[in-house]
């Protein structure tokens, strides 16, 4: 990354870096670029691609529709019911 690109990023992100901070950021990006270049030299032709570092196992249950409670059981737990519906106190006047 050069200074012009850094100034563009500075403007885009609404930052105001001092010249010392700009030099520090340029050194940081240069070090990251060197890291990428060293990684690019590694031969990965025989390495299988992976999506996750560890094998993923779905621990969730199957999504099967079911009716765990009957309407009568639920209405029996209601403080009051009327015409097959829960009856609750009025909240708004």
Q: Nearest-5° angle of CA 42, CA 46, CA 50?
A: 90
Residues facing 86 on adjacent strands: 81
At 11-59, the pLDDT tens digits run 999 999 999 999 999 999 999 999 999 999 999 899 888 888 888 887 8
Residues facing 85 on adjacent strands: 82
Angle between helix 3-12 and helix 19-40 axes, rounded to 10 deg: 110
Domain ranges of the chain: 3-40
Evaluate whether 3 touches 22 at the Cβ level (below 8 Å): yes
Residue 89 is predicted with a pLDDT of: 84
Residue 4 is predicted with a pLDDT of: 93
For the segment 69-87, the average pLDDT, to the nearest whole number, is 89
Q: Nearest-5° angle of CA 49, CA 50, CA 55?
A: 150
């Amino acid at each position: 990354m050069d200074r012009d690109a850094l100034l563009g990023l500075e403007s885009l992100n609404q930052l105001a870096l001092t010249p010392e901070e700009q030099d520090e950021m340029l050194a940081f990006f240069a070090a990251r670029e060197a890291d990428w270049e060293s990684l690019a030299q590694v031969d990965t032709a025989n390495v299988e691609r992976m999506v996750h570092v560890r094998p993923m196992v779905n621990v969730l249950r199957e999504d099967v529709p079911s009716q765990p409670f009957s309407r009568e059981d639920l209405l029996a737990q209601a403080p009051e019911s009327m015409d097959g519906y829960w009856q609750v106190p009025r909240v708004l006047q």
